[in-house]
Structure 1
């Protein structure tokens, strides 16, 4: 069962910038800790305010500010709020907020978090996880595995970010590894 996570207004907003990354953050834990987490990420700039936990933009290996930080989380929606689970959908500019996720995971080690992210224009998708064993990030890029593998990855996680199927996207079918 694929779950559509992007609203009509979010899809319309993505036309203002060519490369939005779709993010689906799921956080599980005790009700008290989830409420603390929700209050902590609710900053003056809105739900999922990166500056709340990273007052200065993180930099990459070359000393450049990470592009997603300056845009903050856009089109943010709290799509699920139960006593044991929070699910947020939001967009970031160009790339997922992995440095922010790592920082938040350090502050809330008792919560389990997953950040599913995908960027249609550049053709990549990934999954970042935080639990009692630490954090891990794995991703697929269409230049290496082709669009069908990236779409299969998202489908296997039951995720539909509302993208069009890449029927006409060029890639070398012989370079696509067989998955499954």
Structure 2
């Protein structure tokens, strides 16, 4: 029960971090609900560096660290801190992959003429456009076909795989 609660809390923090990073609509109902839920923590962890609220990343890492500290007291402090950073990084990459898949599906639905708009789809679209625009600047659409979501998904998949390999490489040294 505690594990699921902490995981949900970490995901909410990371979604808020991404929506603030993407400068998504702050009047979006989902963003507002997340901000209301996390308001006490936002007061304490409002640490900005070059207009990026890194306090949210610190909060997510701190929560993951507390979870590992409670769950695995036998491993050392450095191992718990590394596991927390890996957990937050993997969760962030998972959210970004979900955003890309969701944005592609929503764009296909719009292409077929079905137009539905709600807070969830607008937040996904805003995060999708910001995420994919980085890759779209590198590889522009050619012939009316945009492969930047595919490249972005593969880049995030590769980063996730590299983090997994790195974790398996340093795991024996930490325990």
TM-score by length of structure 1 reads 0.28
Higher helix proportion: 2
Higher strand proportion: 1
**Structure whose CA Rg is larger:** 2
